[in-house]
């Protein structure tokens, strides 16, 4: 599966959702989640993210992110159309530890 990681938080550019062939992105207030059981590993969303927040779970150390994506994908609504990024997106892009600081 591909997984949305820290740098999406407080940016939420949403370019990723338009290209997903199986519509497996789910939307929270300031983060999106990919449902790991629905993602078909096509990889087309990865280069679409301006914040470089989408990674393949073959990269080491992403287990907790897969579980976070799963947890919220199951309770948030699906998103299939791009929206405006969050107003603070440019300022927050690249900040460390956004999960602890901003996730809501």
Residues lying near ligand SF4 in the complex (CB under 6 A) are found at 2, 19-22, 24, 34, 39-45
- 92-100: long-range contacts at Cβ-Cβ below 8 A with a sequence spacing of 24 or more? 92/9, 92/10, 92/11, 93/7, 93/11, 93/50, 93/51, 94/7, 94/51, 95/7, 95/10, 96/6, 97/6, 98/6, 98/7, 98/9, 98/10, 99/6, 99/9
Which residue lies nearer to ligand SF4 by CB, 40 or 101? 40
How far, in Å, CA of 82 to CA of 74, rounded? 20
67 binding partner (options ligand SF4, ligand F3S, none; Cβ < 5 to 8 Å by kind):
none
8 binding partner (options ligand SF4, ligand F3S, none; Cβ < 5 to 8 Å by kind):
ligand F3S
Residue 32 near residue 4, CB atoms below 8 Å: yes
2 binding partner (options ligand F3S, ligand SF4, none; Cβ < 5 to 8 Å by kind):
ligand SF4
Q: Give the shortest CB-91-to-ligand SF4 separation in angstroms.
A: 26
Q: Give the shortest CB-91-to-ligand F3S separation in angstroms.
A: 14
Q: Give the shortest CB-44-to-ligand SF4 separation in angstroms.
A: 5
Q: Give the shortest CB-87-to-ligand SF4 separation in angstroms.
A: 25
């Amino acid at each position: 599966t591909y997984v949305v990681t820290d740098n999406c938080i407080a940016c939420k550019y949403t370019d990723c959702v338009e290209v997903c062939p199986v519509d497996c992105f789910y939307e929270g207030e300031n983060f999106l989640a990919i449902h790991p059981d629905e993602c078909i590993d096509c990889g087309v969303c990865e280069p679409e993210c301006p914040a470089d927040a989408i990674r393949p779970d073959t990269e080491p150390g992403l287990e907790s992110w897969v579980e976070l994506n799963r947890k919220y994908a199951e309770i948030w609504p699906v998103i299939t159309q791009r929206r405006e990024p969050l107003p603070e997106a440019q300022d927050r892009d690249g900040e460390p530890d956004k999960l602890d600081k901003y996730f809501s």
